[in-house]
Structure 1
Amino acid sequence: MGETKIKWGISPIGWRNDDIPEIGAENTLQHLLSDIVVAGFQGTEIGGFFPEANILKKELQLRDLSIAGKWFSSYLIRDGLATVAASFKRQCQILQDLGASVIVVSEQTYSLQTLEQNVFDKKPEFTDEEWKTVAEGLNQLGEIAAAHDLHLVYHHHLGTGIQTGGEIDRLMDSTDPAYVHLLFDTGHLYVSDGDYLHVLNKHHKRIKHVHFKDARRQVVEDCRNKGQSFLKSFLNGMFTVPGDGCIDFKQVYDALLEHQYEGWIIIEAEQDPAIAHPLEYALIARKYINDNLVHTRN
């Protein structure tokens, strides 16, 4: 499915959500992985409910699936590098054992991601000293990741101190390109800035992982006008899979190919699985990719 240097995966977040564990709790690992096979994807990222590595390996091997990476919440400002690095090393070892390529990092100090606060209004801002702490810490974590044959990819995220295009610029300028890379997420940039191609074209050399997340324009505006939290916004349907929202993924995919991107593109859409049937939406995404991106070039 797709260009030989690009692997297509889909996130478990459409089946079960780590921030709200009760939604989709009926969806087992076996259910999730088998749906991924039915939808024709090559792999996934590790969810919070995934089992230990040896059990996971067996389930993956039975379905010829791969693990791309896993989310890691860093608290460099709150806890300091030594504390963060200890748990980071453990996660890197697990990912290395599973043959993953990236570890996804987001600085969660002051994050509004799981709080009942307006995610569109007053986002966290780091002081100059806090920026220095994050940048230096990420450089060190990036070295640890590299020692485990992984790329540290930073996830810009709504409701955090590194969300906007300008903040991504500052992060890229203040970190070592050998050790700190970028996860490019269309949905978060669209909701944050409206524009997503600028970051892709400016920082394409640093991008080592991609999330294709679509958004429903009217739902975004309704959530913004109501001052909703991140959790309520996605439960109300702010995000969806490519082909079901307003983002032009043809432009994005063409730009990635132009910049000779190599790595995973992960379909990701936080939704309530009781409303948005996970397999149905995985198939919507697969059809959109085949009809509009991949097969148009074969």
Structure 2
Amino acid sequence: MTATATSHRPAGAHTSGLRIGTAPDSWGVWFPDDPRQIPWDRFLDEVQAAGYHWIELGPYGYLPTDPAQLLDELAKRDLRISGGTVFTGFHKGAEQWDRAAEQVEKVAALTRAVGGEHIVVIPDLWRSDATGEALEPRTLTDEQWAALAAGHDRLGRMLLEEYGLRQQFHSHADSHVGTHREVERLLAETDPRYLNLCLDTGHLAYYGGDSVKMIHDHPERIGYLHLKQIDPELRFEVLKNDVPFADAAIDVMVEPPAGIPDFAPIIEAVAAIDPETFAIVEQDMPGIDIDVPLGIATRTREHIFGCSPLTRTR
């Protein structure tokens, strides 16, 4: 029998501030189906045991895709869904719209059906996360930037008008939108009605970005958070030696509070903008031993709640 979520709520538990959750990624889940990954039902059990209430869907097909079944499994464990995830490559050309729309038809429909509010959108990487091979140049032309922005505006409008969901763009290591300036260019070229940021604190720091500065400079564009920390020294070894992010992730993304950035000023800055914002713990750990994540997830939640009173489970 799994423990109840209330058994993890300390006396005087926080009741205001950002809604803290977690994601399958924090259990090493990168793919819908991989025999090395933790089974989905054990993942849900451990999320509850770690004291969380909110989770993301993760890769479509990892959790049950039948809404009734998923809602039943969530209810058994007092869990709820914050959002889903899709992957895009609009800079590559017009044909990428069909690929994005095909994902949205499945992911957005399921997300809406189970009460989620957001779709986190991750751009394609410029190199393969399987082989490390460079697939295209690392930077975009002006024409590709225009195509990227137009595609995301169209996608965000579709998500909002047809599903009532918000597009939250996730800058990413080894993608074309990773540095602080690249993120700001995307914001400048897109419509705030249709695209805001899933500000991933680890991926922004991977390229030297400052999450607090991003929040202060663009408060109206911060729609969602992914909380993670990186090893600031190992990051430079990885970048200097051109190690693919997929190979480096499990080492460079470290358990808080061992890395950077500090969570407290980020939490407090976003809570001042909108205390209903989701802040989802997402520690990239592909290939991790399935017995390891529960302890990390529990300690991370405890660390976050110790950082600031502006945090809550619900």
Does TM, scored on the shorter chain, surpass 0.5?
A: yes
CA distance in 2, matches of 1:284, 1:7: 17
Listed as ranges, the gaps of 5+ residues in structure 1 are none
What SS is found at the alignment partner of 2:309? Answer: helix
In structure 1, give the amino acid aligned to 2:20: W
**Post-superposition shift, 1:242?**
2.9
Change (3 A) 1:296 1:256: closer
How is 1:1-298 mapped onto 2 (pairs within 5 angstroms)? 2-4=14-16, 6-18=18-30, 22=34, 24-25=36-37, 27-48=38-59, 49-53=62-66, 54-78=68-92, 79-108=95-124, 110-117=126-133, 124-147=138-161, 148-235=163-250, 237-271=251-285, 272-274=287-289, 277-294=292-309
Listed as ranges, the gaps of 5+ residues in structure 2 are 1-12
CA distance in 2, matches of 1:267, 1:179: 24
**Identity across matched positions, percent:** 24
Kept in 1, the 8 Å contact 2:202–2:229? The answer is: yes
Change (3 A) 1:109 1:99: same
CA distance in 2, matches of 1:248, 1:126: 31
- What is the aligned length? 293
In structure 1, give the amino acid aligned to 2:22: I
CA distance in 1, matches of 2:23, 2:137: 26
Kept in 2, the 8 Å contact 1:113–1:158? The answer is: no
CA distance in 1, matches of 2:306, 2:103: 42
What SS is found at the alignment partner of 2:207? Answer: helix
CA distance in 2, matches of 1:144, 1:268: 26
In structure 2, give the amino acid aligned to 1:100: G
TM-score (norm 1): 0.89
Kept in 2, the 8 Å contact 1:112–1:123? The answer is: no
CA distance in 2, matches of 1:276, 1:240: 17
What SS is found at the alignment partner of 1:50? Answer: coil
Question: Deviations along 1:14-44, whole A, 9 cap, x unmatched?
Answer: 223225964742x221211111111111121
**Post-superposition shift, 1:290?**
2.2
**Post-superposition shift, 1:177?**
0.7
In structure 2, give the amino acid aligned to 1:40: G
Change (3 A) 1:229 1:83: closer
TM-score (norm 2): 0.84
RMSD (Å) for aligned C-alpha atoms: 2.6
CA distance in 2, matches of 1:229, 1:276: 25
Question: Deviations along 1:262-287, whole A, 9 cap, x unmatched?
Answer: 22100111124328811100111111
Kept in 2, the 8 Å contact 1:124–1:161? The answer is: yes
CA distance in 2, matches of 1:251, 1:276: 32
Give the structure, 1 or 2, with the largest relative contact order (CA under 8 Å, sep 6 or more): 2
CA distance in 2, matches of 1:125, 1:296: 37
CA distance in 2, matches of 1:222, 1:83: 35
What SS is found at the alignment partner of 1:159? Answer: coil
**Post-superposition shift, 1:82?**
3.8
What SS is found at the alignment partner of 2:20? Answer: strand
What SS is found at the alignment partner of 1:72? Answer: strand
Kept in 2, the 8 Å contact 1:76–1:109? The answer is: no
Change (3 A) 1:114 1:155: farther
